Amino acid sequence: MKRIYFAIVFLIFTVFSAFLELYIVFNPAKESISLIEQATDLCKKDKKQEAIELCYEVSDLWDKSNPKINMFIQHEKTVEISSDIKEMTFCLEHDKDFEFMLAAEKLKEDLITIMDNELPHISNIL
């Protein structure tokens, strides 16, 4: 009987850990994507100072959540996202609108890729 209780407790712990990991990865990624979309819209409306502030907000959000996310995904991906954020901000600060849009789209794609890779699909498991 103790084995069954242990198995149930272990199963509950495993499910809880999986949902916690999804929350830790998805929450900052979704929020970052939303802020990036707002920044690109502001850039299109020539409100660059406000867009730059949003880029700094994305950077702060990512810097805060990065240590937690690194527990669950490969460090190369998080380093690449951090450099993409800095590139996006740099392009906007130096009036390179086209390069900013490209960097923002690349960053959104990277964040979406991380979210997709963390979902429990058969292709991700095999």
Per-residue pLDDT tens digits for 106-123: 999 999 998 888 777 666
Is the Cβ–Cβ distance between 118 and 27 less than 8 Å? Answer: no
> What average pLDDT score do residues 45-50 get?
88
Calpha distance 89→28 (Å, rounded): 18
Calpha distance 78→67 (Å, rounded): 9
pLDDT of residue 115: 87
Is 14 inside a domain boundary?
no
Is 84 inside a domain boundary?
yes
pLDDT of residue 16: 92
Token digits for 56? Answer: 């700094």
pLDDT of residue 103: 92
pLDDT of residue 126: 60
| Domain CATH for 32 | 1.20.120
pLDDT of residue 123: 66
Q: Encode 11-48: b = buried (16+ Cβ within 10 Å), e = exposed.
A: eeeeeeeeeebeebbeebbebbbebbeebbebbeeeeb
Is 6 inside a domain boundary?
no
The range of the structural domain enclosing residue 120 comes to 25-125
Is 116 inside a domain boundary?
yes
The tally of domains found in the chain comes to 1
Is 19 inside a domain boundary?
no
Token digits for 86? Answer: 């800095």
pLDDT class of 125 with cuts at 50, 70, 90? low
Helical residues (DSSP H) of the chain, grouped into ranges? 2-44, 48-69, 75-93, 97-118, 122-125
Is 60 inside a domain boundary?
yes
> What average pLDDT score do residues 51-60 get?
92
Is 81 inside a domain boundary?
yes
pLDDT tens, position by position, 5-38: 999 999 999 989 888 888 988 999 999 999 999 9
- Written as one letter, the residue type at 74 is Q
Is the Cβ–Cβ distance between 100 and 43 less than 8 Å? Answer: yes
pLDDT class of 77 with cuts at 50, 70, 90? confident
Is 78 inside a domain boundary?
yes
* Residue found by looking up tokens 């690194």 in the block: 70
